[in-house]
Chain A
Amino acid sequence: MIEEKKFVTQYRFAFIDEATKREIRRKLLKAIAIPGYQVPYSSPEMPIARGWGTGGLHVTLAIIGPKDIFKIIDQGSDASVNACNLRNFVQTMTGVETTLDTNKATIIQTRHRITEEVLNEDQIFVYQVPQPEPLRSVERYENKTRQMHGEADYAKMWVSLYEQFVRHGDIMLGAGYPVKVNGRYIMAPSPIPRWDIPNLNNSKAIHLFGAGREKRLYAVPPYTKVEPLEFEDVKFHIEDFKGIPCFRTGYKKAFLDELYYDDGSKHYVINDSNFLDKLVNKELPQQHENSYLNKLGNEA
């Protein structure tokens, strides 16, 4: 009898208990108040393992309301395993409407990409972050990195960029390129490709980052300056697809995936699945505007 009572109990809305949600919201407010600063938080237990998107899930579940429309992507795709499972989980726990349409969603959770389609002021973008500490590659001690952030002592980070340039002729960070937020904190933009970095700058949406395993939250508020680190003579640049068009749409101005078919042939296709679908359906989605994209010619 006791057992039945124990297990029949309903989960509460959005799984996490209200006190913990409030704690996460408080930490998010602090993160927004200090752009780029990593705020420690509780990182409560979830039914998935830490490091599998718990940070993003914490943020989503703490801020989601019954009227929200939820979209989740993994590496640009709405259909990957991680995205599907987390979408099912959020939907089951909240009953909110889910969507694949970037434009329609109010909360978009992501792993490793920003959508190609431009974000608006009513949207919140939530990142699942594996490593929130941009300085980890140059300093392994947490107390040291916190001190370095506190004193804006970023010389080591710069030297590591210099070293990469000297050894390889370019700054070899494909994903997670360090950025300076609001002229102060250096931030790991989660492992989004360089392609997406300029889209963080002056974005209309709120960007919230959750690292569940490392128990850190941070944020980029709307209309905030986000600059990739670059030297005066060695500039940041986005991925170069050498003018190769998407093989399904012929579009040239989007981040591409490389596909190998069984016959060994190689195809390039737009990585953002919703953006691709819209282009295929001739819906003409509106893209982010940035100087790097503007330099690319596009005859779609």
Chain B
Amino acid sequence: MKHNSENWLLKVEGLTKIYGNPTQTSIDKTGPLFDSNICPDSGSIVACAQIDFELYPGEVLGIVGESGSGKSTIVKMLYFDMEASGGQVSFNRDPYIGKNILNLSNQSKRAIRNHLMGMVYQNPRDGLNFRFTSGGNIAEKLIMAGNFNVGTIRDKSKQLLEKTEVPVPRLDDLPAHFSGGMQQRVQISKAIANHPPLLFLDEVTTGLDVSVQAKVLDLIRELQQELGVAMVVVSHDLSVIRMLTDRTLVMKNGRIVEKGLTDQILQDPQHPYTQLLVSSIL
């Protein structure tokens, strides 16, 4: 897809999350330069700060970094699971154009979550309700978007399970009885149920064995090409990033230390931390 600087889908400016009581200089005294995200004066923790990026329709953006670098925090704030401490997030879709979606009412945030976003968590327990059947979990998304016809809900759920290669006869089984890979597929079905233009994937393959990882990644890539959905892929695994993403942000101590085309970053890492990351691929 052609990108120019104006047709972005999501624009993030100065997104910040701080735990504790920060001082004026907390942000200046933390980060990769200090190799710490704990403010020496106040002890507050700067999970991430000054995060700026744009995401274009149909683009796949990777966020890579070690654990604790703040990458999951970013998607959790963007999906409204977590409240941001500051920053501006714009969503280029009616009726949210020109508004900071972080400041919207809970209803509007839920509307955005239901209609414009999907999320796949590392742990299926976060994204699925294990007391509901897999069909019920998908139904939840469809119902939230105003679908109150059981027949239609079931047809759509079946189509989604088919698309994500979950055996359709298991529509009415509990996800608790599924394998990890299948649970992840159900989560993906749920996330794409309302055809959102934006999908967040938070360490989706981390708990899976290698062959299942490959299949889930294949599935995600196929879905991305088929639906043209924009994605933010969070992973500590560079091979996942390489396989899925067009552009990548590299994070350390809550800051973006390097951003660019994924191939470029992997071939020619500039920042010492990125160099370390790339050289540590097994």
B107: Cβ under 8 A from any A Cβ: yes
Question: Is A162 touching B143 in the complex (CB atoms < 8 A)?
Answer: yes
Assess A162 versus B172: contact at CB under 8 Å? Given A151-B106, A231-B148. no
Q: Quick one: which of A159, A160, A167, A233 contacts B151, CB cutoff 8 A?
A: A233
A: number of interface residues (CB 8 Å): 18
Assess A159 versus B140: contact at CB under 8 Å? Given A151-B107, A151-B110, A166-B133. yes
A155: Cβ under 8 A from any B Cβ: yes
Q: Quick one: which of A155, A166, A232, A234 contacts B140, CB cutoff 8 A?
A: A155
Query: Hey, which chain B residues are within 8 Å of A162, CB to CB?
Result: 135-136, 139, 143, 150, 153
Interface residues of B in 123-149 (CB under 8 A from A): 129, 132-133, 135-137, 139-140, 143-144, 148-149
Q: A-B pairs with CB below 8 Å: how many? A: 49
B: number of interface residues (CB 8 Å): 20
Assess A163 versus B133: contact at CB under 8 Å? Given A151-B107, A151-B110. yes
Q: Quick one: which of A151, A163, A232, A234 contacts B132, CB cutoff 8 A?
A: A163
Query: Hey, which chain B residues are within 8 Å of A241, CB to CB?
Result: none
Q: How far is the CA of A167 from the CA of B172 in the complex (A)?
A: 8
Q: How far is the CA of A295 from the CA of B174 in the complex (A)?
A: 38
Q: How far is the CA of A164 from the CA of B129 in the complex (A)?
A: 15
Query: Hey, which chain B residues are within 8 Å of A151, CB to CB?
Result: 106-107, 110
B positions within 8 Å CB-CB of A:
106-107, 110, 129, 132-133, 135-137, 139-140, 143-144, 148-151, 153-154, 172
10 pairs, CB–CB < 8 Å, chain A vs chain B:
A151-B110, A155-B144, A158-B148, A159-B129, A159-B136, A159-B137, A159-B139, A162-B143, A231-B148, A232-B148
Given contacts A153-B110, A160-B132, 15 further A-B contacts (CB under 8 A): A155-B143, A155-B144, A156-B129, A158-B148, A159-B132, A159-B137, A159-B139, A162-B135, A162-B143, A162-B150, A166-B135, A166-B136, A231-B150, A233-B149, A234-B150
